A and B are shown apart, each in its own frame.
Chain A
Amino acid sequence: MSGIRRRATLAVVGAAAAALLTGCGLADRVVGLHPAPTEQVGGAPLNEETAGAIVSRVVAQAEAARAATGSSGERARKAVLTGSALDLAEAAVSSRTKVVAPDPLATPDVPKVLAIVKGRTWPRTILATTLDAASTTQYLHVLTSASPTSPFVLSASVPMLAGASVPAIGPVPEGVDTVRDGTGLVAAPAEILTEYAGALAYPKPAAADHIDLTDVLSTSLRGSAVSQAKTFGKLATLAQRQKVDGTPTSFRLAGGGALVFGELTRTDTITATSGAKAVTVPAEVAALLRKSRITKTVTVTSVESVVFVVPATGNATVIGAAEQLASAKGS
């Protein structure tokens, strides 16, 4: 029995000595080492301050790029703009629309970050707003970063319609979900855009079952088509059609709806009737054609960026829009 006890004692003492000689975590305990905390991957991937600095930089660079000319201007626009923001800027160039360069001495508009799309994956998206002090126009901006090493670029920059507002989105640090389908909405964002495009067609607009068309933009577009057609009288016919470009970018609102950014291309076709010798076209079209009268057909293309609030119930409404004449072709 004493032999067994002796061996057991030897084993215990040996093990204790070996453990202590190898440290047994002694150093770790002295300095308080512990595993690094686990990263929280929910919520917004950027803090509000960082996102605000990014928006300031991108908006300022975008303004400068829009006003830049020549090949360097083209490179600058492609470096900082994408999507509808780039299309509108390029349309301004192709239509020779004069863009006023930003005043380097003017105080830049201070952006307010409205939301950052949650999650750690790419592409990443920031929704922000700025108030243009000169025109007192509120702008909505969408910025995207395609990959971890790609800087944010401006993918949409749309002035809000007078009196319009953005419904609550939720706290910025919590992040916002993007919306890809019509779950919880009166219709999917893509359907709303298609429906809107159809509703603005002239002379045969389609029914818009999910959109309120009483906003300033829709009323103006539909009204101008009618008045323009009346102006042409029997000398020419006017046809307008809208095509949805790309995939809309949509953010989930706190109340369950969605804020939807979409892009449309509008094509106006003015065709002189057989009885007309020549038709006088609007001044901006005449400037592009370099003549004020046409004898056959002219096709005028415009790029439009629109922002909808699509609710869970009721009708979608347009809260922001930008339109830019792009080109005019014909004779």
Chain B
Amino acid sequence: MAIAKKLLSLALAIVGLVLLVTGLWFATHLGTSGDATFRWTASGTSPVVLQPSLINRVDEPLTVKVTPAAGDSVWTGIGAPSDVDAAIGTTPATRLTRVALRPWSVLARATGSGTPASVADAEIWRTRSTTSGAVTIAVDQRTAPESIVVRGEKSPLQSVTVTWRHRTWFYQSLVLAFVGLLLAAVGSGALVAGLRSGRGERS
């Protein structure tokens, strides 16, 4: 029984430590504003598709910031995912599929080959625009699921960042870290006490 208790104490301490590190890690990335911002550094000239698996997986408003090359404009189209897939078909595109927490970034996947589709000619968009310089797109989850297509008018894009703002995420992270701290303290305390009592029994 003594070994089981020690193992449980060890597990508690490890769990606490994991929660503590996770909570602190999230708090550091989110900041006090609770902004979860992920960045993708663009490459290539093909259209960039922000898929529903990236933009519609959290019930929070999302802000997408697209930065073109210096002096360039950004073409943006927002439409139904199946329409976007049909328009792009087998032509080249970079699909931003989801975010990764380790590393803290947007995951991209290159698909298709040949000449990029002239997506600007397609009339499948709920909304579309061409903006000079960086553009910020507010994604309302009420119209989900949707895909966003962006591309530089003349040159490849510079970057795409996605930001979810949820103020309580920061405090949730702190609570998580605090709970982890408590568990780690209790677990390690119990483990140390168990080890001492075991030594005392042997002596």
List residues of chain A with CB under 8 Å of any chain B CB. 5-6, 9-10, 13, 16-17, 20-21, 23, 26-27, 30-39, 41, 45-47, 50, 54, 120, 122, 145, 148-152
Taken residue by residue from 121 to 153, chain B's Cβ proximity to chain A (1 for < 8 Å, 0 otherwise) reads as 111111100000000000000001100000000
Are A20 and B58 in contact, with the CB atoms below 8 A? no
Interface residues of B in 87-144 (CB under 8 A from A): 87, 89, 101, 117-119, 121-127, 144
Are B145 and A37 in contact, with the CB atoms below 8 A? yes
The distance from the CB of B155 to the nearest CB of chain A, in whole angstroms, is 22
Are A148 and B83 in contact, with the CB atoms below 8 A? yes
Q: List 10 A-B contacts (CB under 8 A).
A: A6-B4, A9-B4, A17-B14, A26-B22, A36-B145, A38-B145, A54-B123, A148-B87, A148-B89, A149-B87
**With A13-B7, A149-B117, A150-B121: A30-B86 Cβ-Cβ less than 8 Å:** no
**With A27-B101, A38-B145: A50-B125 Cβ-Cβ less than 8 Å:** yes
- Chain B contacts for A145, CB-based, 8 A: 123
Are A13 and B11 in contact, with the CB atoms below 8 A? yes
Are B80 and A39 in contact, with the CB atoms below 8 A? yes
**With A31-B164, A149-B118: A39-B82 Cβ-Cβ less than 8 Å:** yes
Interface-centre pick from A26, A120, A148 (highest chain B CB count, 10 A): A148
With A20-B18, A30-B172, A151-B121 known, 14 other A-B pairs at CB within 8 A are A9-B7, A26-B19, A27-B26, A30-B26, A30-B169, A31-B36, A32-B60, A34-B57, A37-B52, A47-B126, A50-B125, A50-B127, A120-B82, A145-B123
- Chain A contacts for B145, CB-based, 8 A: 36-39
Are B87 and A37 in contact, with the CB atoms below 8 A? no
B73 interface hit (Cβ, 8 Å): no
C-alpha spacing A26/B124, complex, angstroms: 38
C-alpha spacing A39/B80, complex, angstroms: 8
C-alpha spacing A122/B138, complex, angstroms: 29
C-alpha spacing A32/B56, complex, angstroms: 11
Are A45 and B126 in contact, with the CB atoms below 8 A? no
Are A10 and B7 in contact, with the CB atoms below 8 A? yes
C-alpha spacing A45/B86, complex, angstroms: 13
C-alpha spacing A39/B145, complex, angstroms: 6
- Chain A contacts for B81, CB-based, 8 A: 39
Are B144 and A37 in contact, with the CB atoms below 8 A? yes
C-alpha spacing A327/B86, complex, angstroms: 42
The distance from the CB of B27 to the nearest CB of chain A, in whole angstroms, is 11
Number of A-B contacts (CB under 8 A): 103
- Chain B contacts for A41, CB-based, 8 A: 82
C-alpha spacing A149/B82, complex, angstroms: 13
Q: In the complex, which of the residues A5, A33, A39, A122 contacts B57, with contact meaning CB atoms closer than 8 Å?
A: A33
The distance from the CB of B143 to the nearest CB of chain A, in whole angstroms, is 10
- Chain A residue with minimal CB distance to B120? A149
Interface-centre pick from A13, A31, A46, A122 (highest chain B CB count, 10 A): A31
Interface residues of B in 1-60 (CB under 8 A from A): 3-4, 7-8, 10-11, 14-15, 18-19, 22, 26, 36, 51-53, 55-60
- Chain B residue with minimal CB distance to A47? B126
The distance from the CB of A25 to the nearest CB of chain B, in whole angstroms, is 12
Taken residue by residue from 148 to 177, chain B's Cβ proximity to chain A (1 for < 8 Å, 0 otherwise) reads as 000000000000000010100100110010
- Chain B contacts for A13, CB-based, 8 A: 7-8, 10-11
The distance from the CB of A142 to the nearest CB of chain B, in whole angstroms, is 15
- Chain A residue with minimal CB distance to B22? A26
Among all A-B residue pairs, the 5 with the closest Cβ atoms: A36-B52, A148-B87, A148-B86, A36-B56, A9-B4
C-alpha spacing A13/B118, complex, angstroms: 57
Q: In the complex, which of the residues B4, B124, B176 contacts A148, with contact meaning CB atoms closer than 8 Å?
A: B124
- Chain B contacts for A152, CB-based, 8 A: 123
Interface-centre pick from B11, B117, B127, B166 (highest chain A CB count, 10 A): B11
Are A149 and B121 in contact, with the CB atoms below 8 A? yes
**With A5-B4, A17-B15, A38-B145: A149-B119 Cβ-Cβ less than 8 Å:** yes
The distance from the CB of B38 to the nearest CB of chain A, in whole angstroms, is 11
- Chain B residue with minimal CB distance to A34? B57
C-alpha spacing A38/B117, complex, angstroms: 25
- Chain A residue with minimal CB distance to B60? A32
C-alpha spacing A251/B4, complex, angstroms: 75
- Chain A contacts for B123, CB-based, 8 A: 46, 50, 54, 145, 151-152
**With A39-B145, A47-B126: A32-B58 Cβ-Cβ less than 8 Å:** yes
The distance from the CB of B63 to the nearest CB of chain A, in whole angstroms, is 15
- Chain B contacts for A33, CB-based, 8 A: 57-58
C-alpha spacing A30/B117, complex, angstroms: 39
C-alpha spacing A35/B54, complex, angstroms: 10
- Chain B contacts for A37, CB-based, 8 A: 52, 56, 144-145
